[in-house]
Amino acid sequence: MSQPLVKVDQLTKLFPVSRGMFRKPVDFIHAVDGISFEIAPGESLGLVGESGCGKSTTGRMLVRLSDATSGQILLGDSKGSGDLVDVAHIDDSDMGTFRRRVQMIFQDPYESMNPRRTVFETISEPLAVQNIGSLHEREGRVRDMLQLVGLTPPETFLFRYPHELSGGQRQRVAIARALVLDPSFVVADEPTSMLDVSIRISIMELMLKLADDFNVSYLYITHDLAVARYMCDRIAVMYLGKIVEIGDTEEILGNPQHPYTKALLSAVPVPDPSFKKPEVQILGGITKAINPPARCRFIDRCPFSQPICETEDHPPLEDKGGAHFVACHLVEKSA
């Protein structure tokens, strides 16, 4: 197998919770707790889970908008050759190169853009920061990008401001901005959740097409399993800072093993009134992982828990057959 594009190893992020007179951090929220996964060149991995499970924090660490507490993020190149770079130890002088390879698309197109900059300024800014091309060449590049993301004819959009664009058009600008440096890896944090259904599909289609054209890999963060199914080759399910299940999209959706994945899947509304939904078995809502005990994170809501779940540490993510990894003591290995 060729080298992965991204290799995450035991990645952890703790947020201190301050209490008392001197605001001394006494407790820690384990937002992301020792997760590991790999993404191959050109592959898209979906990171799904409920709010507060640590999926956005993971995304932010991958683009270094937030520093990891411990663990490693290694970044390869799109050809799957060459050395892996440790993202945590990139110094300022190499940061520029890193940003050329890794970009992010944010959830809210109304807040991720400077309202006083035109579309041209927004999309060309990465080029200016990286000192790529003359002004004239940048304009040509921005025109090409606008064409690619379907904002045509480009000259009618170049000098518009964000308030003159609809939500869908803004998200197209955000995609153009993320791809203008020709990155190999893009973290997309709920890029379609603020958009209306009819616009959502065209943005998803656009992202799929550009992934092919530019040979980019996505880490696609979403709470919506139906969207993840459409966008991703593989899916990782997170619960309170842990990845509880990871595998090929259709395998995870068709043959979920972890009790949390099963519950999540049966709770998803299905656009078919004749579909008989299985009952959701788990109770309660998600909590926060403040100084969690070592045992399985899911135990309080799990309908199947056994004494072993109480006494043992959080189960490791194990291959239960066919590259389908599950973190549960009670799931047997299949042949």
Partner 1 sequence: MSRPLLEVDHLVMNYQTEKGDVSAVEDVTFTLHAGESLGLVGESGCGKTSIAMSLLRLVADNAVFKSGEIRLDGTNLLALTEEEMRQRRWSEISMVFQGAMNAWNPVYRVGDQIREAMDLHFRPRLSAAESNDRIERLFHLVGLNPAMAERYPHEFSGGMRQRAIIAMALSCDPKVIIADEPTTALDVIVQDQILQELKKIQAELGMAIIYISHDIAVIAEVTDTIGVMYAGKLVEIGPTDEVFARPRHPYAFLLLSSTPSVTGPRRKLAPLEGEPPNLLDPPPGCRFHPRCPFATDRCRTDVPIAENVGGGHLVACWNWEQVPEIGALIK
Element (H, E) at 18: strand 6-19
- Which residues, numbered 15-74, are part of the site for partner 1 (CB under 8 A)? 50-51
**CB nearer partner 1, residue 270 or residue 308:** 270
Q: How far is the CB of 249 from partner 1 (least distance, A)?
A: 8
How far is Cα 288 from Cα 286, in angstroms, rounded to an integer? 7
**CB nearer partner 1, residue 181 or residue 267:** 267
- Which residues, numbered 256-295, are part of the site for partner 1 (CB under 8 A)? 263-275, 277, 280, 282, 285-286
Output the CA–CA distances (angstroms, integers) from residue 46 to 58, 97, 239, in the order listed: 12, 25, 14
Count of residues of this chain found to bind partner 1 when the rule CB under 8 A is applied: 39
* 200 touches partner 1 by CB under 8 A: yes
* 76 touches partner 1 by CB under 8 A: no
Q: Which residues contact 197 (CB under 8 A, 6 or more apart)?
A: none
**CB nearer partner 1, residue 111 or residue 196:** 196
**CB nearer partner 1, residue 185 or residue 220:** 220
**CB nearer partner 1, residue 6 or residue 263:** 263
Q: How far is the CB of 143 from partner 1 (least distance, A)?
A: 22
**Helix/strand/coil percent split, the chain, to 5:** 35, 25, 45
* 227 touches partner 1 by CB under 8 A: yes
**CB nearer partner 1, residue 124 or residue 249:** 249
How far is Cα 247 from Cα 2, in angstroms, rounded to an integer? 19
Output the CA–CA distances (angstroms, integers) from residue 25 to 12, 20, 54, 71, in the order listed: 17, 9, 20, 21
Angle at 81 between CA 77 and CA 85, to 5 degrees: 50
Q: Which residues contact 275 (CB under 8 A, 6 or more apart)?
A: none
Of 1, 21, 135, 197, which lies in the binding site for partner 1, with binding defined by CB under 8 A? 197
Query: Are 19 and 290 spatial neighbours (Cβ–Cβ below 8 Å)?
Result: no
Interface characters, 105-144, with partner 1 (x: CB under 8 A) = ----------------------------------------
Output the CA–CA distances (angstroms, integers) from residue 49 to 113, 226, 230, 245, in the order listed: 26, 12, 16, 11
* 163 touches partner 1 by CB under 8 A: no
**CB nearer partner 1, residue 259 or residue 292:** 259
Output the CA–CA distances (angstroms, integers) from residue 88 to 33, 48, 66, 72, 115, in the order listed: 17, 24, 10, 7, 32
Q: Which residues bind partner 1 (CB under 8 A)?
A: 50-51, 166, 168, 196-202, 204-205, 223, 225-227, 229-230, 250, 253, 263-275, 277, 280, 282, 285-286
